[in-house]
Amino acid sequence: MATPDDPGWDTRPYLPLLERLRPGARLYFRLTANPTYSTFNRGTRGTRTAHTTPTHQLRWLLDRAPAAGFIIPALPHPEQPEHHQVNVLAARRLDFPRRHGDRRPAHVRIHTVTYEGHLEITDPTALHRTLTHGLGRAKSYGCGLLTVAPTRADREARDSIQRREEAHP
């Protein structure tokens, strides 16, 4: 049972991970984001509209990845070159009121998408910024947090090196 003294989870220092970011390295990732696009009508203010199809949601992520410091590698399948190492795990629509002082509550609607897959680092500085500042909109509503972890192959290689070092100090 979680208590204030023992919430049932743990934290780890982030700096060692950020210092290990290197071009070409591959990481497993998960991201819950709010993929949107702007629509404009002459003479009016633009509006934000959610991408609601998996194809557009995936394209949103693939388009933003390079500026965020990574790419999502394509699957090695010659008949399907547009398939990438990423899945859309969940898509949800959140509706809730938001109060602004004494004014009437405003209605908020956010479409979230949870992505999971593998990324390849292209720009460690940009990825560092993405990991610490988030990706996309609706960050104040819990969107934009990119989490990464070593891939299975990297973990196995690191564990093998550690076992060798322990066996031969």
How large is the C-alpha radius of gyration of the chain? 20
CB 23 within 8 A of CB 123: yes
Q: How many domains does the chain have?
A: 1
Measured CA to CA, the distance from residue 151 to residue 160 in angstroms comes to: 14
Q: Is residue 59 part of a domain?
A: yes
Distance, CA of 103 to CA of 144 (rounded, Å) = 28
Rounded to whole angstroms, the Cα distance separating 69 from 55 reads: 22
3-class DSSP state of 31: strand
Does the residue 3 lie in any domain? Answer: no
Q: How far is Cα 132 from Cα 144, in angstroms, rounded to an integer?
A: 10
The 10 Å Cβ neighbour count of residue 89 is: 13
* Domain contains 57: yes
Is there a domain that residue 5 lies in? Answer: no
Question: Hey, which bits of the chain come out as E strands?
Answer: 26-33, 36-39, 47-50, 70-71, 86-98, 106-121, 146-150
User: Both tokens of residue 113?
Assistant: 């998408």
| 10 inside domain | no
Q: Is residue 9 part of a domain?
A: no
Q: What tokens appear for 73 in the block? A: 């590698």
Q: Are 68 and 127 in contact (CB under 8 A)?
A: yes
> Is residue 96 situated within a structural domain?
yes
- Summarize pLDDT for 152-162 with one digit per residue, the tens: 776 666 666 66
The domain of 139 spans 17-167
In a domain, 2, yes or no: no
Taking only the tens of pLDDT, the chain with its 169 residues reads 667 777 777 777 888 888 889 999 999 999 999 897 788 777 777 777 777 788 888 999 999 999 999 999 988 766 655 678 888 888 787 767 777 777 777 777 788 899 999 999 999 999 999 999 999 888 887 889 999 988 877 666 666 666 666 776 6
CATH number for the domain including 45? Answer: 3.30.70.1210
Give per-residue pLDDT as tens, 40-74: 777 777 777 777 788 888 999 999 999 999 999 98
Measured CA distances, 164 to 20, 133, 156 (Å): 21, 37, 12
